[in-house]
Amino acid sequence: MTILAIKILLISIFAGGLGSILGLGGGIIVTPALTLLFGIDIQHAIGASLISVIATSSGAAIAYLRDRITNIRVGMFLEIATTVGAITGAIISGLIPPSLLYIIFGVLLLYSALAMIKKVKQEVPGEVVAHKLAQVLKLQGSYYDKTLQKQIPYNVSNVYGGFGVMYGAGVISGLLGIGSGSFKVMAMDVFMKLPLKVSSATSNFMMGVTGAASAGIYLFRGDIHPATAAPVALGVLIGSTIGARIMQRLKSKTIRKLFIPVLIYVALEMIVQGLGVKF
């Protein structure tokens, strides 16, 4: 029992580290690791992965906020879209065939992966014309890039597009009980043209709120097993604290190169699931 807990703890440290660097919840590692490596049933694995989303978010956000990478205003504003989306997802979950949604969102992710490949040589966004609404909402900002060793000011464009994709991210979270960090990073990086590090940190920041709404429901439904979720929570908290430090020392190009294959993997997985292919 102790050995199993330690193994789960170690994998969770890794999941939390990668999740905090990429702005994802770590669920893409925790769920398959728990089911495939430890034979834990999918229902408890999803419950534990929701815990990992919240732990990654809160653990990493402490460091990202202290180092001023997170854009709180962007995060708070877009949380309106993700929370309304999450409720929509919960309501429509019985009305619209999920397979159709899987395919639509899978294709959308694939498209954004391609858009990211085009940006693979870009370290920080070039001149971005600020969207009118972005100025009203005071979304522009700046952060200190530790690898470039200088302050990077940035503008925010396409607020409506970003808000729309965030709404979609919320719908997916509500439907599937996931943090949908890949959509959040995409909305900010591809649509709103924020620097990648700001996108990742802000996605991390927001994800806790998305996860919390579902996690409460899962916990009281009995889908969160304490013996599994406890080492996941602790491991991910440790991992995300470390990851938030590593991320700042990485080049944005490197982070993007890590991100693109993950994005393609998640996209293909969604499309395959939508087409009803069983392995």
Partner 1 sequence: MQMECKKDNDLYDIETFVGRSLQLGVVISATVIVVGMILFIASGEGGFPGDTYPTSFSTIWQGVLALKPYAIILLGLILLICTPIFRVGISILVFFKEKDWLYVGISFIVFIILISSFIFGK
Chain positions contacting partner 1, by CB under 8 A: 1-2, 5, 51, 54-55, 57-59, 61-62, 65-66, 68, 70, 72-73, 76-77, 79-80, 83-84, 86-87, 90-91, 137-138, 208-209, 211-217, 219-222, 224-227, 229-231, 233-234, 237
CB of 224 to partner 1, least distance (A): 6
Backbone phi and psi for residue 144, each to the nearest 5 degrees, phi listed first: -95, 120
Closer by beta carbon to partner 1, 225 or else 253: 225
Q: Which amino acid is at 178?
A: I
Distance in Å, CB of 252 to partner 1, minimum: 21
Candidates 202, 192, 73, 190; CA nearest to 131 is: 192
Nearest approach, Cβ of residue 193 and partner 1 (Å): 20
Please report, for the chain, how many H helices and E strands are present, in that order.
11, 2
Of 112 and 203, nearer to partner 1 (C-beta) is 203
Compute the least distance from the CB of residue 223 to partner 1, in Å.
9
Which is closer to partner 1, CB of 241 or CB of 252?
A: 241
**Dihedral of CA 145/125/188/270: which sign?**
negative
DSSP letter (8 states) at residue 191: I
| Residue tagged 């990851």 (tokens) | 243
Which residue, 81 or 186, has its beta carbon nearer to partner 1? 81
CA-to-CA dists, residue 16 to 27, 126, 253, angstroms: 9, 31, 21
